[in-house]
Structures are given as structure tokens and as C-alpha cells.
Amino acid sequence: MDRLHVYERLIREWQQRMNLVGPATLDDIWGRHFADSAQLSALVPKARLWMDIGAGGGFPGMVLAAMNWGRFLLVDSIAKKCRFLEAVRDELSLRECVTVINGRVETLPTLGVEVVTARAAAPLANLFDWGIRHVRPGGIHIYPKGRRWSEEVEDARKQFSFELETHPSMTDAEARILVATQVKRR
């Protein structure tokens, strides 16, 4: 909890310089961002190597790292957001478990992660396209998705085959957390 309080302070400070979270959600950091990210921990075992695509403000990756939920590669193509993530990592003493990568996920060398995640970064088919080569065999794709989640699943099935579990979101009755395995191109 101490780490998350520091993280909240940093978001509020940096939000004045860049758009880390939607301005309308700033007053609900704990529910809209921290709890929404933390709920993924109930669905994936601890101590895995994760990649967070389009990490932006650090959701869900930095929140899970603050909870000691594994090792994290936070990938974002925007340099100033990477500077923010590095500042949070350093302030929270997470250098041992968080690596910030400034780059486009589709151009990175294969990373060999066990779990790939993203929040509000792209439609599911794009996330599969970007993440598939980075996930080790037997790995997991876990994505919180909003009310249009079923449409995204339908679109993704046109390009990919995968096993899917859906879990209700604890923070939004219309949203779901999608846990996909055995993701392959058709």
C-alpha cells in the first residue's frame, strides 16, 4: 500500500505535464486504475515474467510489480511516458523487477515472456498480433477489456485460434478480463 500511495502522488505530479490517465478518472485512481490493474493477480500465478504492451501510465504492469507479482517488461513507444515509468520504478525501489523499454513492441526482438498484458492499448486482434511472438509456449495473454469485449473476441477469431476464459471485472460490470492460451495465427 505504501508503494501505491507514492505511485498516486507521482501520477498526480506528472499528470500536470502529460496525459497519463484520463482527466475524468484522476479522482478515482484507486478504483479505476489501481484496483482494475490489481485484479489480474487473482488470475495469474505469482513470480512470472510479464510484458505490458503500451504501458503508458503503468497499468496494469507497474501496479502488479508494486504488489511483488513478478518481473515486468513495460513497453511503450512514447519516450516521455517511459521517463515517467522509470521515475516510478526508481521511487518504488523496483529496479530488480521492472525494466522499461522505449520502443514499438512489433519491432523488438523476441522477449520470451510467460504473460503478456495490456490495458486500453489496442483491440484484441492487434494485441495478439504484437504479443504472440514474445510469449513462450504455454504462456498466457491476459487483457482487461471494456463493454465491447465480445466484439473484439469475435474479430480476433478471424485471424487467430485460441482458448479463452472470460472473468467478470471487479471494477466494471460490463467489462471482462480475457485470459487466452494457445494463441496461434489461422
Domain that holds residue 139: 2-185
Among 27-31, 161-165, 166-170, the minimum mean pLDDT is found in 27-31
CATH number for the domain harbouring residue 53: 3.40.50.150
Q: How many domains is the chain partitioned into structurally? A: 1
- DSSP code at position 54: T
- The answer for residues whose C-beta is within 8 angstroms of residue 37's C-beta and 6 or more apart is 59, 60, 61, 62, 63, 64, 119, 144
Side-chain half-sphere CA neighbours of 122 within 13 A = 17
Q: Give percent of the chain above pLDDT 70.
A: 99
Provide the b/e sequence for 163-185 (b: ≥16 CB within 10 Å): ebeebebebeeebbbbbbeebee
Residue-level pLDDT at 180: 97
**CA 101 to CA 185: how far, in whole Å?**
26
**pLDDT band of 134, cuts 50, 70, 90:** very high
Task: Enumerate residues 6+ apart whose C-beta is below 8 A from 128.
Answer: 141, 156, 159, 160, 162, 180, 183
**pLDDT value at residue 29:** 83
Residue type, 154: E
Tens digit of each residue's pLDDT (9 = 90 or more) over 57-86? 999 999 999 999 999 999 999 999 999 999
Q: Per-residue pLDDT tens for 8-58?
A: 999 889 888 888 877 777 777 886 789 899 999 999 888 789 999 999 999
Least confident interval from 10-24, 92-106, 141-155: 10-24
Out of 33-37, 146-150, 153-157, 161-165, which region has the weakest mean confidence (pLDDT)? 33-37
* Residue owning grid cell 525494466: 99
Q: Number of C-alpha atoms within 13 angstroms, CB side, residue 10? A: 21
Task: Tell me what pLDDT residue 26 has.
Answer: 75
